[in-house]
A and B are shown apart, each in its own frame.
Chain A
Amino acid sequence: MSAIDYKKSGSILNPLKNLSFFARPAITEPLEPRRASLRYRGFHLNDWEKCVGCSTCQKVCDNAAITMVKVPELAEDPLNGVRNLRPAIDYGRCCWCALCVDLCPTGSISLSREYVHTCTDDQLSSYFMLPDPNGMHKEFFGEGWNKTAENDLVDPQRQAMNEMAPDARIANFDEIVAGYDRQQAIIEASRCVQCGMCHDACPTHMDAPEYIRAIWQDDLEEAVRQIYNTNPFAHTCGRVCTHRCETACSVGKRGEPIAIRWLKRYAVDAFTPEQIQAIVGTGDTTPTGRQVAIVGSGPAGLTAAYDLARLGHAVTVFEGLDRPGGMPRYGIPEYRLPYDKLDADIAVIEAMGVEIRCNTWIGRDITLDQLHTDYDAVLLGLGLQLGRSTRIPGSDHGGVVKAVDVLRDVTAEIPETVPASAVVIGGGNVAMDAARTLARLQRQVHGAVRVTVSALEDFEHFLADPEEVTEAREEGVEILDSRGPKACIVEDGRLVGLTTLKVLSIFDEQQRFAPKYDDGDEQMHSGEMVVEAIGQMSDTALLGEALTERLAWQRGRLQTDDDGRTSEDWLWAAGDMVRGPDVVHAVADGHRAARSIHRALAEAKMEERAS
């Protein structure tokens, strides 16, 4: 095996053969430090433009070497998931493993090729360093270990959601999205880095990191408990929320954000309303003897009802229509939000002791003054149930309808003739809802879809969610962008369609709404029905003229203070009528109003006791 027989050929003179080394050049390196290799793990660099302060590096640091430091000069933007925190590294702990680099969701941290730092005892504070793009000693040695596709430990792919194929869903109102199964949900939940950006961005500040963690640990009861801390419309929000959380999600900075909405849905779908009620309890059930009237059983009204009931107040909700639920029931199509899921939310709320009186119109069956007299506080949660009109020529024809009315009639099962062709004006989600609802009805009645959507905006600035557009197209809806409505064409008293013009610009130089059209590019879209989906407003007739006069208004919206209290001390308002259309904003508003009402009632009680 050995080339030399060492035992025999050994000699005491052998080392002398190496005397030739005296003639060889020395291998000694110069005293100045060499350049480190291209992927060397030296001192940290942090690109402050990219860094969002999510503190994931801090969580993965095995030596607790990272402190998050607030840098006031940096901008904070919770809606886009940016904090003004930046990591500071303690080189008395760091081991240069570069896990912070591998796990950074934004890819802002990297390690440099700089490796020399010395200090005396009284300069020891220099071991605590706030990395910036310049390097530890303000001298850039080059980037060493950085984020590449190879060492990236952040999983950019979310779990695919099972959805019904277009031809399976087009002829019915079944829910399109199947929801996650257990394994998908756990994997999806495991992607979360628990930065809490979602919590900051959410209007109602849901404890998303906590319930995602609980879902990952397969502890769904805990997840439901965390969800109901801030949101009693869990089934609804789990389906139709505008998920600002996902916009802010730090994993979404480079990849797909965590499917927070689907995870919420997965957690609450695992339980019946009775089970949920058992999990969340009924709060403090000692009656306070106070009575609160809430007008409107939408998310804002019922959220406030839920909170107030859990605080021991007697809550009565007045709803004009047949069923409670408000806009989520009458404005959102069933294929996005099945009614039984909304019923589940309402059942949990009712189980807290909330009384809901349907078919009770304020102003018809009972007056607002009556409520003012009978109750200690009144909350208006009216919603935006009136559609706005384009007021173009021909729009007063009977065949021109509002999208909200179409949707409400479908929910209320009011029989109506389904037009064989229809044109929808508008490019928002309501327009998509109306178009897709009509498409389904057309498929059921006529067997073919002929719906055209004409939107003002171009596709780059489209208002509706991209997935809505995609799905609508899959279902046979034709979507045209940059088309401004000119006139509804009526021939022989019969509506035959809509003419539109090419949009040149929507806003003027002052960013005011003033669309400009190209008169040479006119198109005619034939339709027996024209649906206007260009915005909604609130039906405030019930307030009466005197009260309307006393209250403050801005652009048709009721003005309240931050907590939803109007200038009348007995009257609060919440939800879409104050904030504009969004379920989760309405929920947040409901919480705020409930807190304010509770505080006011408690103060009133104190005053009573004092007097």
Chain B
Amino acid sequence: MRAENYEARNHPPSNEFEINFGPNHPGIEGNYALKVKVHGDEIVAARADGGYLHRGFEKLMEQRLWIQNIALVPRICVPDPAPMEVAYSMAVEQLCGLEVPQRAQWLRVLLLELSRLAAHLFTFGGHAATTGMYTPMFWGVADRDLLLDLFEELTGGRVYSIYNIPGGVRRDIPDDFLTRLSDTLDYIDSRLPDYDNLLFTNQVFVRRARDAGPVSQAQALDWGVTGPNLRATGLAFDVRRDDPYLVYDELEFDIPTEQPGDAWARTLVRRGELLQSIRILRQVIDRLPDIGGPIRAPIPNPLAWNVPAGEAYVRIESSKGELSWYVVSDGGDKPYRVHIRGPSSMHAVQVLEHLVTGCRIEDVAQIMFSLDACPPEVDR
């Protein structure tokens, strides 16, 4: 220890302090930092600092074969990896003109919605924990683990499923999987009243979360806010419905919206989406047995696979918002350029900086969790 490092610093003669909120901070989601200037408890200025989880995905993908990237892509967003796989596969399929078999599309929907469910349960828990309530977090994580068991059974991996490949999916569902899925959904459904008691109708939480980090609809549009955060401002927009992909246009689901765009509304939207995901999954359970056919379109030998030159822009509704992938091929065996636009790259930087400015320091964590900002998606 060097004593001089622990002497009082020459701070400006005021009660304003600059502090690092993160990266090693229990209130931060992932490995991310906010540098904030506080005046008492109030934050007067904030600046996001990312890059702690930077791995250079876009560069790495340019160095790997098209097929090799399927192992890499789920790592981009750890809590919600499935949309990454699907989006990448869809982009390659677009470039190659591959027709994905119906059954594969339904299986992808199954995977995506399971992943959304898992991510939302995780986010609830996180949001609750940042307001000092740890039980919902314990429950949310434990219930999510039941979904991870399903992932493990379906895809062979708990978190990183690596289930999609360009052309379709790698394995069909195991025997009786749908029954177990249905049972798990019933269980999660039955847990919702418990969550309501503990969280959504708990005045402690309601009062903390309301009016925290409000975003108006105009601001949301101005700042490129998407996903549940946008729907929490009252705009019913969902890529699944308005720019449909896979078989979402054959599925019935509502788009939950809330007002007025504060942390409370955002979390409520997620609760609504949880119900809708369960609803979609139940439709998948009903329809999937009737959809036969292959689960994968034939693809060339992955070691000698030149994807035709071109570009593809794929948009997907991930649990965090609009996820889009821009993939350029120069006709080679590796992607020429991949650009990943994670929804959190908006939410965790400019929007978060904007929202925490003026709030009290104890709300920073819950604003970040309520935005469901996912740092690995920002850093890539």
Indicate whether A98 sits within 8 Å of B171 (C-beta atoms), given known contacts A14-B197, A62-B64: no
A30 CB-CB contact with B under 8 Å = no
Asked if A6 contacts B70 (CB within 8 A), the reply is no
Asked if A99 contacts B156 (CB within 8 A), the reply is no
Contacts of B197 in A (CB 8 A): 14-15, 17-18
Closest approach, in angstroms, between the C-beta of B33 and any C-beta of chain A? 27
A145 CB-CB contact with B under 8 Å = yes
Asked if A155 contacts B152 (CB within 8 A), the reply is no
Contacts of A38 in B (CB 8 A): 153, 174
Asked if B268 contacts A62 (CB within 8 A), the reply is no
* Residues from 249 to 266 in B contacting A, C-beta threshold 8 Å: 254, 256-257
Closest approach, in angstroms, between the C-beta of B370 and any C-beta of chain A? 15
Closest approach, in angstroms, between the C-beta of B187 and any C-beta of chain A? 11
Q: Which residue of B lies closest to A8 (CB)?
A: B201
Q: Tell me the bound Cα distance from A1 to B70 in angstroms.
A: 38
Closest approach, in angstroms, between the C-beta of B272 and any C-beta of chain A? 6
Q: Which residue of B lies closest to A193 (CB)?
A: B303
Binds A, one of B114-122, B282-290, B292-300, B343-351: B292-300
Closest approach, in angstroms, between the C-beta of A214 and any C-beta of chain B? 11
Binds A, one of B10-18, B40-48, B202-210, B310-318: B202-210
Contacts of A27 in B (CB 8 A): 142
* Residues from 48 to 82 in A contacting B, C-beta threshold 8 Å: 56, 59-63
Contacts of B71 in A (CB 8 A): 62-63, 95, 97, 99
Contact of A151 among B68, B160, B171, B196 (CB under 8 A): B171
A322 CB-CB contact with B under 8 Å = no
Asked if A62 contacts B65 (CB within 8 A), the reply is yes
Contacts of A148 in B (CB 8 A): 171
Asked if A60 contacts B67 (CB within 8 A), the reply is yes
Asked if A145 contacts B156 (CB within 8 A), the reply is yes
Contacts of A62 in B (CB 8 A): 64-65, 68-69, 71-72
A121 CB-CB contact with B under 8 Å = no
Q: How large is the interface on A (under 10, 10 to 19, 20 to 34, 35 or more residues)?
A: 35 or more
Q: Which residue of B lies closest to A5 (CB)?
A: B201
B336 CB-CB contact with A under 8 Å = no
Asked if B171 contacts A10 (CB within 8 A), the reply is no
Indicate whether A14 sits within 8 Å of B198 (C-beta atoms), given known contacts A98-B156, A151-B171: yes
Asked if B170 contacts A37 (CB within 8 A), the reply is no
A154 CB-CB contact with B under 8 Å = yes
Asked if A15 contacts B202 (CB within 8 A), the reply is yes
Asked if B194 contacts A193 (CB within 8 A), the reply is no
B172 CB-CB contact with A under 8 Å = yes
Asked if B302 contacts A60 (CB within 8 A), the reply is yes
A198 CB-CB contact with B under 8 Å = no
Closest approach, in angstroms, between the C-beta of A293 and any C-beta of chain B? 46
Asked if B162 contacts A6 (CB within 8 A), the reply is no
Asked if A190 contacts B68 (CB within 8 A), the reply is no
Contacts of B174 in A (CB 8 A): 38-39
Contacts of A95 in B (CB 8 A): 71, 160
Contacts of A193 in B (CB 8 A): 301, 303
Asked if B70 contacts A97 (CB within 8 A), the reply is yes
Asked if A153 contacts B153 (CB within 8 A), the reply is no
B157 CB-CB contact with A under 8 Å = yes
Q: Tell me the bound Cα distance from A96 to B171 in angstroms.
A: 16
Contact of A6 among B198, B206, B299 (CB under 8 A): B206
Asked if B70 contacts A103 (CB within 8 A), the reply is no
Q: Which residue of B lies closest to A190 (CB)?
A: B304
* Residues from 197 to 245 in B contacting A, C-beta threshold 8 Å: 197-198, 200-204, 206
Asked if A39 contacts B301 (CB within 8 A), the reply is no
Q: Which residue of B lies closest to A21 (CB)?
A: B194
Asked if B304 contacts A216 (CB within 8 A), the reply is yes
B305 CB-CB contact with A under 8 Å = yes
Indicate whether A99 sits within 8 Å of B272 (C-beta atoms), given known contacts A144-B156, A153-B299, A155-B298: no
Q: Tell me the bound Cα distance from A27 to B271 in angstroms.
A: 23
Q: Tell me the bound Cα distance from A99 to B303 in angstroms.
A: 11
Q: Which residue of B lies closest to A150 (CB)?
A: B171
Contacts of A4 in B (CB 8 A): 196, 200-201
Contacts of A103 in B (CB 8 A): 302-303
Contact of A59 among B149, B171, B303 (CB under 8 A): B303
Contacts of A98 in B (CB 8 A): 156, 162
Asked if A99 contacts B67 (CB within 8 A), the reply is yes
A192 CB-CB contact with B under 8 Å = yes
Indicate whether A18 sits within 8 Å of B201 (C-beta atoms), given known contacts A37-B156, A151-B170: no
* Residues from 178 to 212 in A contacting B, C-beta threshold 8 Å: 187, 189-194
Asked if B268 contacts A2 (CB within 8 A), the reply is yes
Q: Tell me the bound Cα distance from A6 to B258 in angstroms.
A: 12
Closest approach, in angstroms, between the C-beta of B127 and any C-beta of chain A? 14
Asked if B201 contacts A14 (CB within 8 A), the reply is yes
Contact of A18 among B152, B162, B194, B301 (CB under 8 A): B194
* Residues from 92 to 151 in A contacting B, C-beta threshold 8 Å: 95-99, 102-103, 111, 144-145, 148, 150-151
Closest approach, in angstroms, between the C-beta of A571 and any C-beta of chain B? 47
Closest approach, in angstroms, between the C-beta of B290 and any C-beta of chain A? 19
A31 CB-CB contact with B under 8 Å = no
Q: Which residue of B lies closest to A94 (CB)?
A: B71
The proximity string for A residues 203-230 relative to B, scoring 1 for CB distances below 8 Å and 0 otherwise, is 0000000000100100000000000000
Closest approach, in angstroms, between the C-beta of A9 and any C-beta of chain B? 6
Q: Tell me the bound Cα distance from A21 to B136 in angstroms.
A: 13
Contacts of A41 in B (CB 8 A): 156-157, 162
Contacts of A150 in B (CB 8 A): 170-172, 295-296
Q: Tell me the bound Cα distance from A91 to B174 in angstroms.
A: 28
Contacts of A371 in B (CB 8 A): none
Q: Tell me the bound Cα distance from A36 to B69 in angstroms.
A: 25
Indicate whether A36 sits within 8 Å of B272 (C-beta atoms), given known contacts A14-B202, A97-B70, A194-B303: no
A286 CB-CB contact with B under 8 Å = no
Closest approach, in angstroms, between the C-beta of B36 and any C-beta of chain A? 30
Closest approach, in angstroms, between the C-beta of A91 and any C-beta of chain B? 15
Contacts of A417 in B (CB 8 A): none
Asked if B201 contacts A190 (CB within 8 A), the reply is no
Contacts of A160 in B (CB 8 A): none
Q: Which residue of B lies closest to A155 (CB)?
A: B301
Closest approach, in angstroms, between the C-beta of B204 and any C-beta of chain A? 6
Asked if B203 contacts A39 (CB within 8 A), the reply is no
Contacts of B135 in A (CB 8 A): 15, 18
Q: Tell me the bound Cα distance from A40 to B197 in angstroms.
A: 37
A511 CB-CB contact with B under 8 Å = no
Q: Tell me the bound Cα distance from A102 to B167 in angstroms.
A: 14
Q: Tell me the bound Cα distance from A150 to B201 in angstroms.
A: 47
Q: Which residue of A lies closest to B204 (CB)?
A: A12
Asked if B202 contacts A40 (CB within 8 A), the reply is no
Contacts of B303 in A (CB 8 A): 56, 59-60, 103, 192-194
Contacts of B155 in A (CB 8 A): 39
B residues near A (Cβ < 8 Å) are 64-65, 67-72, 135, 142, 149, 152-153, 155-157, 160, 162, 170-172, 174, 194, 196-198, 200-204, 206, 254, 256-257, 268, 271-272, 295-296, 298-305
Task: Give the 10 A-B CB pairs with smallest separation, nearest first.
Answer: A62-B68, A97-B71, A190-B304, A12-B203, A41-B156, A39-B156, A17-B197, A14-B197, A37-B153, A151-B170
A-B contact pairs, 24 of them (CB 8 A): A2-B268, A4-B196, A6-B201, A12-B202, A14-B197, A15-B197, A27-B142, A36-B152, A38-B174, A39-B156, A39-B174, A62-B72, A98-B162, A99-B68, A99-B71, A99-B302, A103-B303, A144-B156, A150-B296, A153-B299, A155-B298, A190-B304, A191-B304, A192-B303
Known: A12-B204, A99-B70. 19 other contacts (CB 8 A): A4-B200, A9-B201, A10-B201, A27-B142, A36-B152, A37-B153, A38-B153, A60-B303, A62-B65, A62-B72, A95-B71, A103-B303, A148-B171, A150-B171, A187-B300, A191-B301, A192-B301, A193-B301, A216-B304
